[in-house]
Chains A and B, each alone.
Chain A
Amino acid sequence: MTPNDCRCVVTGLGVICAVGNNVEETWKNALNSVSGIHKTTSLDTKDCYADLAAEVNCDTLDDIDSPNEKDRASKLCIKAAKEALQDANLGNFNDDQRVSVIIGSCVGGVLSIEEYYQHGKNPSEIAKMPIAAIASQVAETCGAGGIVTNVGNACAAGTISIAIACDLIRAGKADVVIAGGADSFASVPYSGFLSLHALDENGCSPFNRCSGITLGEGAGIVIVESYEHAQKRGAKQYCEVLGAGVTSDAHHITAPREDGLCLTEAMNRAVKNSGIKKSDIGYLNAHGTGTGKNDNAEINAFNNFFAAENPTLSVSSTKVMTGHCLGAAGAIEAVFSIKALTTNTVLPTLGYSAEQSAALKEKVGDMDYVQNAPKSKELNCVMSNNVAFGGTNASIVFSKQPGDVQSQVAKSKKIVVTGIGIVSPVGNSKEAYLEAVKNGAKPESASIHSAVTNDDYKELGIKMAFYRKLDNLGQLQTVSGVRALKDANFTVTEDNANDIGIIVGTSEGGLGSTYDFEELIAEAGNAGGSAFKFPHTVYNAAGGYLSICSGIKGYGVTITTGPVSGLDSIGYSMNVIHDGQEQAMMATGTDENIPVITELAQKLNVAADSVVEPYAGSNGFVVGDGSVSIIMETEDYAKARGAKVYCEILGYGNGRKNVKFGTVEGSGEALDNAINAALKDAGVSAAEIDAVCGFANGQKVVDDIEKAAYARVFGDKLASMPLFQVKEHVGEGRAASATLAAAQAALMLDGEMASENAYFVSADGSVSKKTADASSFKKILVTAFSAGGSYSAVVLGK
């Protein structure tokens, strides 16, 4: 049985979608087989072949603090989060570090991008655009002071958020996690799915007509709490959350594998991690979008996985009720799954005639695809699945019993760095970066960017047939990722493709591509979207392309919290390895600087007018970009394959003090917390740290936070502590710079970077520079920050 300290329970639920503005209303309508699909009232449908959507109808979304500073996606999410917190009898947490927020989204603040582009480019829209705003604003609303992040894996993001919530609790990093997903209905996804001919003009009909999806919108929130914490405060417990499985198809950017092979593996992992039998699952809430490709792949996967041991499993898709709510889908469906479990009621897929029922039976045999009306059934465990663009598969199990969950089974294993791939404005290889550091390279202007060319692809043996499909972000990501694999001498084969996963950290992800898409349809109308460009709007496209290109089929998650995401990718990868999910992980940070990104930074007055150095005391920074990938694996796995080891990853920590999203001022003490948590996790004292690879970018408000925190953490030692700042070479590359700082630490510990320009902060706060020799360093601290008040730290050691 799952030990008590590994048990995760659900103590609160919240939902808003087309069939209800709260759980009670939504569930009542679901039991009455109500569909929320109607003709859209919010979008222009001129020349569009489909005009249906499942829109939320709620006039109280603005009853929150500062509604003008929040996108509709945040408003939907905050509404659901408030309901869930109230349901769980939880209030404001006052920046409690043990409370986290993990929110999935696909298109995030896309309505604010639309508003910005179409109505005078008002800077007040900018901070509402990135997905990262959502979790940050939920955290700000309730005072959650732990790990606050967003999952950007498109339509599987909601499910993955709940899975990560459990991972954090089981790793001892949180007691309470507000987990879920949110997305709003908007022109970009509507036009995008139209261009792919993936909308059903008559409304979606999963496992039935299978001629397309119907978009919905909404949010779902599940309060996931450690069992012990819930017991202690006498909380109501709906059910347990057992294991989850996340995999990558390595197949196609929009289409799932026909054989459902990697979805099957996700379900297999979920069952295995739960410590249950396949036959324990009574109901499966399928992804069931209504496209032929998805539904047939799922039917294949369910037949293959369940037919022998659980031939009469009940299956349904609830998307005829809610529409496809993209990043909110998994979260809303989790709420449905939990209600189903606790009330012993299987929800139906709506819209079947007798003839259609008979046709489905031909395909699925005895399996119980529940249709048209709910059905009573004694349930012990339910499974909820979601799949996404980029080839992501996610599966999770909710249960009345504690199961036998295995977590942190590999906690004692050492994790080492074995490969590094660097794409930055100073060149597209590790060697180019080392050379730039040696030469003291500085940015040539206040806005610089990486430039991947055909030559990079030719050198790496990537076919034009593949790379021609990539947007800029995908190009940066695939080159750095493939270079990291080569550097690690890691050849992905059929045998080890499931041993390795990818976590991409990104600040803005697909925001630039989403803006380009908005620009296109603002001119051409919603009927004029591009099927070629649409896939790039999802934040996990870059990671998806890397999976396709490299063949990596294991864990695949894109996290987006701002720059800090580039270090969090390392921290979460440690967790994945310690959980025994993978033997190896690629942790990356990737962000791009295409013209619109510089434009947005300038509008926000955070872009410097001319080149500035770290600690320059400027109002702005040099806008940069890049992609840095780090291969990390257990020491055993690395030894077994004879890999070269750069260094060990000793520990990881987070801190957060809530400030308004888009700002950092006043949150500095959270950096102390992040550093202290990382030191504790590493079992290292501040006195043992030899150097810091930090995040100073020249902007006074950011750099002052860094200096002040180091002064508090290191005391007198700070004056002689070398601080290295990658941004003096590559500008502010957000998540890419955060991972680059870790890569630089690894290169110093390994001896490849013998010396580098270092900054020293004296007691009065003044900063001096001199070259520091890296040969004696044994332990290096790496730090990163994000708007909204999130900080992370990682300790690397020889």
Chain B
Amino acid sequence: MEEVKNKLKEFFMSDLGVDGSVLNFDTALFGDEIGLDSVDSLEIISFVDDTFGVSMTGVDKENFQSIDTIAAFIEKNKA
């Protein structure tokens, strides 16, 4: 689980330009500080599919709230 979270954090920093120093596993991704939007969610879906083989297309918004919730979704749905 930690490994998944770290991979996600690395992705947010390298591909979506997020400052790692303010990004914790429970930080709200779509809140004011990080400010992800719909374009970023397309990138998250694509990354999660490519890296973990888990599809998040059409999944409820609440699963995208933080690194914690995305990692939990991945754990639950891994083949």
Q: Which residues of A contact B (CB under 8 A)?
A: 195-197, 252-255, 454, 463-470, 530-532, 535
Contact B15 A465 (CB under 8 A): no
Residue B33 CB within 8 A of the other chain: yes
Closest to A465 in B: B35
Stretch from B1-9, B38-46, B59-67, B68-76 at the A interface? B38-46
Which A residues touch B34, using CB under 8 A? 464-465, 468
Q: Which of A253, A254, A466, A470 contacts B35 (CB 8 A)?
A: A466
Nearest-Cβ distance from residue A189 to partner chain B, whole angstroms: 16
Given that A463-B35, A464-B33, A465-B32 are known contacts, is A470 also in contact with B43, CB under 8 Å in the complex? no
Nearest-Cβ distance from residue B17 to partner chain A, whole angstroms: 3
Most chain A Cβ neighbours within 10 Å, of B15, B16, B17, B37: B17
Residue B10 CB within 8 A of the other chain: no
Q: Which of B17, B19, B42, B46 contacts A470 (CB 8 A)?
A: B17
Closest to B43 in A: A532
Residue B79 CB within 8 A of the other chain: no
Closest to A254 in B: B39
Contact B42 A195 (CB under 8 A): yes
Residue B54 CB within 8 A of the other chain: no
Contact A469 B43 (CB under 8 A): no
Contact B35 A197 (CB under 8 A): no
**Complex Cα gap A744–B18 (Å):** 36
Q: Which A-B residue pairs are the 9 nearest by beta carbons? A: A465-B35, A468-B17, A531-B42, A532-B43, A531-B39, A464-B19, A531-B43, A468-B18, A465-B34
Could you pull out 9 A-B pairs where Cβ atoms are within 8 angstroms? A197-B42, A253-B39, A463-B35, A465-B34, A465-B35, A530-B43, A531-B40, A532-B15, A532-B43
Main secondary structure of the interface of A (DSSP, over half): loop
**Complex Cα gap A530–B38 (Å):** 13
Contact B42 A454 (CB under 8 A): no
Given that A463-B35, A464-B35, A466-B35 are known contacts, is A196 also in contact with B42, CB under 8 Å in the complex? yes
Closest to A531 in B: B42
Which B residues touch A531, using CB under 8 A? 39-40, 42-43, 46
Nearest-Cβ distance from residue B31 to partner chain A, whole angstroms: 8
Closest to A253 in B: B39
Which B residues touch A467, using CB under 8 A? 17
Give the contact-size bracket for chain B. Answer: 10 to 19
Closest to B33 in A: A465
Nearest-Cβ distance from residue A787 to partner chain B, whole angstroms: 33
Contact A532 B35 (CB under 8 A): no
**Complex Cα gap A726–B24 (Å):** 45
Which B residues touch A465, using CB under 8 A? 32-35
Closest to A470 in B: B17
Most chain A Cβ neighbours within 10 Å, of B18, B33, B46: B46
Q: Which of A195, A252, A253, A464 contacts B46 (CB 8 A)?
A: A195
Known pairs A463-B35, A535-B39 / 10 extra A-B pairs, C-beta < 8 Å: A196-B42, A253-B39, A464-B18, A464-B22, A465-B34, A468-B18, A530-B15, A531-B40, A532-B15, A532-B40
**Complex Cα gap A643–B38 (Å):** 40
**Complex Cα gap A195–B44 (Å):** 12
Contact A532 B39 (CB under 8 A): yes
Nearest-Cβ distance from residue A338 to partner chain B, whole angstroms: 36
Which B residues touch A253, using CB under 8 A? 39
Which A residues touch B16, using CB under 8 A? 468, 532
Which B residues touch A535, using CB under 8 A? 39
Which B residues touch A196, using CB under 8 A? 39, 42
Most chain B Cβ neighbours within 10 Å, of A195, A197, A532: A532
Which A residues touch B19, using CB under 8 A? 454, 464, 468
**Complex Cα gap A532–B11 (Å):** 12
Closest to B34 in A: A465
**Complex Cα gap A641–B54 (Å):** 57
Nearest-Cβ distance from residue A197 to partner chain B, whole angstroms: 6
Closest to A454 in B: B19
**Complex Cα gap A454–B35 (Å):** 16
**Complex Cα gap A255–B19 (Å):** 24
Which B residues touch A468, using CB under 8 A? 16-19, 34-35
**Complex Cα gap A196–B22 (Å):** 27
Nearest-Cβ distance from residue A685 to partner chain B, whole angstroms: 52
**Complex Cα gap A187–B26 (Å):** 38
Which A residues touch B39, using CB under 8 A? 196, 253-254, 531-532, 535
**Complex Cα gap A463–B34 (Å):** 9
Closest to B40 in A: A532
Most chain B Cβ neighbours within 10 Å, of A196, A252, A465: A465
Nearest-Cβ distance from residue B8 to partner chain A, whole angstroms: 15
Closest to A252 in B: B37
**Complex Cα gap A392–B46 (Å):** 28
Which B residues touch A255, using CB under 8 A? 38
Which A residues touch B37, using CB under 8 A? 252
Which A residues touch B43, using CB under 8 A? 530-532
Closest to A255 in B: B38
Nearest-Cβ distance from residue B10 to partner chain A, whole angstroms: 15
**Complex Cα gap A197–B42 (Å):** 8
Nearest-Cβ distance from residue A89 to partner chain B, whole angstroms: 48
Which A residues touch B40, using CB under 8 A? 531-532
**Complex Cα gap A464–B22 (Å):** 10
Which A residues touch B32, using CB under 8 A? 463, 465
**Complex Cα gap A454–B22 (Å):** 13
**Complex Cα gap A463–B42 (Å):** 22
Which B residues touch A466, using CB under 8 A? 35
Nearest-Cβ distance from residue B66 to partner chain A, whole angstroms: 15
Closest to B19 in A: A464
Which A residues touch B17, using CB under 8 A? 467-470
**Complex Cα gap A464–B46 (Å):** 23
**Complex Cα gap A436–B23 (Å):** 37
Closest to B35 in A: A465
Nearest-Cβ distance from residue B42 to partner chain A, whole angstroms: 4
Nearest-Cβ distance from residue A486 to partner chain B, whole angstroms: 22
Which A residues touch B22, using CB under 8 A? 464
Closest to B15 in A: A532
Nearest-Cβ distance from residue A43 to partner chain B, whole angstroms: 20
**Complex Cα gap A713–B43 (Å):** 56
Nearest-Cβ distance from residue B64 to partner chain A, whole angstroms: 15
Nearest-Cβ distance from residue B22 to partner chain A, whole angstroms: 7
Nearest-Cβ distance from residue A128 to partner chain B, whole angstroms: 30
**Complex Cα gap A547–B15 (Å):** 24
Nearest-Cβ distance from residue A460 to partner chain B, whole angstroms: 16
**Complex Cα gap A196–B43 (Å):** 9
